[in-house]
Structure 1
Amino acid sequence: MDLNQKLRKVALEEGADFYGVADLALARDFIQDQGGEEVASYPRAISLGIRILDSIVDQLPNRQERAVAVNYRHQGYDIINRRLDLLASRLSSLIQDEGYCALPIPASERYDDERICAVLSHKLAAHLAGHGWIGKSCLLITPKVGPRVRWITILTDAPLTVTGSPMNEHCGDCTECVDICPVSAFTNTPFHPDDPREVRYHAAKCEKYLGEGEEWAVCGLCVYICPHGRNKGK
């Protein structure tokens, strides 16, 4: 079994719902601007995703109830991120054992408070791996379950076979995520790789909205409302 097959097999056996390999050369300048030269030096990325339970996401219209919010934050966010981090660590060790470099990027750790971003966009890696497209909500939309997925990325120099390419957007005239946002954080502008995130999304508005609520407050309405998630995978 070659390394490509081994990594995919372990990922799926240990709970990943999505596995893909991206060619990062297509977005090197963007990656370097966000994460620096070391991050941008890796030619490949493994993109892993775990689906969030529909039973948790579908409760989000009642997110003002503490039980709903706490369950979403714990099961739909913290636990899945932990599973992703452990899986990325396991796969990275397998890559290193084969004599290559692997750098797992934490599932949810901010490194730039001013820009409100991580060292690498997991959504961008998933997009480049062919998992889906970047929607008007700035979320990665998969054809199967919409944005109801958490992602993690492993950067590597291993000569892995690229599994896909960026998918064209299929949001069309839909504005449900734009309309439901309680702070109008989305501009209704379709994704274009040359545009900065601010053209589509004002992250500070989300940050302020959640910061003004209770300690356990969540939102996630853009995850809930997307038709590609609500109407599929049930």
Structure 2
Amino acid sequence: MSEVNDIKSYLKSLGASKVGFADVHGLASEFIDLPNGISIVLKLPKEAMQLVKDEDYEAYWKCFHGQIDKLTEMSLKGEEFIKNQGYDAFALTMTRNECDMKKLLSILPYKTIATKSGLGWIGRSALFVTPEYGSAVALGAILTDMPLDFDQPITDSECDECTNCQEACPVDAINPQKWNDRLNRSDIIDIEACSEYIIGQYKAGLGCTKCMSECKLTLKYLENDSND
């Protein structure tokens, strides 16, 4: 399908680090009935992780939201690109996919589309993890009726026995149970303890990204001398 190759190449030309395709039929039916999902992964700059290490959260969040702005622009341009080919599309931007901060959950979680697209898995921390960048990533998505060649979903954790994120959690919210797509999120993380702490940190102008920055694969990404 030339359109599939075209949209993937187009999104990568805009700066996407990884792009994948998934069957999301029925998952977004409460607000839009489009059966196919395009997952967009954008790696976080290595400098952002250094800001976390330095506990310069003001600069970190400025950098992070800059990446979200890039994802929003990519998604909207991708939506327009698809519509110009005669299909329907809906860029799942942060504004359109509003997050409930108490539940730390979007209407349609980007992580769900990303795992179904085979781009990574859910770590012990409940963060999305990629083999290339660990959890130092931001996620976006586009829903569409464009025919797509779906990627192979990842349904089980590919973390080894590393417990870095669990040990780094300041409120012991991370359970020993590894993720698989048959579990509930509550099986792997105490989301109430996590959200209460995170909201408190945000109000104080701080943050909590220890589970992300201490991820074994995040550290490997940071140690890599190349730009990837």
- TM-score of the pair, normalised by structure 1: 0.85
Counterpart secondary structure, 2:106: coil
Show the counterpart of 1:7.
Answer: 7
Instruction: Determine whether 1:45 maps to 2:32.
Output: no
Deviates further, 78-87 or 162-171: 162-171
Q: In structure 1, how many angstroms separate the alpha carbons of the residues matched to 2:125 and 2:99?
A: 22
Structure-to-structure mapping, 1:179-218, within 5 angstroms: 179-213=167-201, 214-218=203-207
One-letter identity of the residue aligned with 2:129: I
Deviates further, 85-94 or 41-50: 41-50
Structure-to-structure mapping, 1:140-219, within 5 angstroms: 140-166=128-154, 168-213=156-201, 214-219=203-208
Choose the corresponding residue for 2:214, options 218, 225, 231.
Answer: 225
Cα contact 2:156–2:180 (8 A) shared by 1:
no
Could you say if the C-alpha distance between residues 232 and 49 of structure 1 is closer, same or farther in structure 2, counting changes exceeding 3 Å?
A: same
Show the counterpart of 2:77.
Answer: 90
Deviation, structure 1 residue 132: 1.0
Q: Which runs of 4+ in 1 moved over 4 A?
A: none
Could you say if the C-alpha distance between residues 114 and 51 of structure 1 is closer, same or farther in structure 2, counting changes exceeding 3 Å?
A: closer
One-letter identity of the residue aligned with 1:3: E
Show the counterpart of 2:16.
Answer: 16
Cα contact 1:132–1:167 (8 A) shared by 2:
no
Could you say if the C-alpha distance between residues 203 and 110 of structure 1 is closer, same or farther in structure 2, counting changes exceeding 3 Å?
A: farther
Cα contact 2:156–2:179 (8 A) shared by 1:
no
Q: In structure 2, how many angstroms separate the alpha carbons of the residues matched to 1:115 and 1:212?
A: 14
Structure-to-structure mapping, 1:21-170, within 5 angstroms: 21-25=21-25, 28=26, 31=27, 36-39=29-32, 41-63=33-55, 68-75=56-63, 77-107=64-94, 110-112=98-100, 115-166=103-154, 168-170=156-158
Structure 1 gap segments, 5+ residues each: none
Counterpart secondary structure, 1:37: coil
Per-residue displacement from partner, 1:96-124 (whole Å, max 9, x unpaired)? 12222212112475344553311111111
Q: In structure 2, how many angstroms separate the alpha carbons of the residues matched to 1:113 and 1:58?
A: 25
Q: Over aligned residue pairs, what C-alpha RMSD do you find?
A: 2.1
Deviation, structure 1 residue 84: 0.3
| Structure with a larger share of its residues in helix | 1
Deviates further, 176-185 or 206-215: 206-215
One-letter identity of the residue aligned with 2:13: E
Cα contact 1:107–1:151 (8 A) shared by 2:
no
Cα contact 1:224–1:230 (8 A) shared by 2:
yes
Counterpart secondary structure, 1:48: strand
Per-residue displacement from partner, 1:110-167 (whole Å, max 9, x unpaired)? 3445533111111111111111111111111111111111001111111011133216
Cα contact 1:110–1:116 (8 A) shared by 2:
no
Q: In structure 2, how many angstroms separate the alpha carbons of the residues matched to 1:5 and 1:190?
A: 34
Q: In structure 2, how many angstroms separate the alpha carbons of the residues matched to 1:202 and 1:16?
A: 31
One-letter identity of the residue aligned with 1:105: L
Q: Percent identity?
A: 23
Q: In structure 2, how many angstroms separate the alpha carbons of the residues matched to 1:6 and 1:46?
A: 13
Matched pairs, number = 221
- TM-score of the pair, normalised by structure 2: 0.88
Structure 2 gap segments, 5+ residues each: none
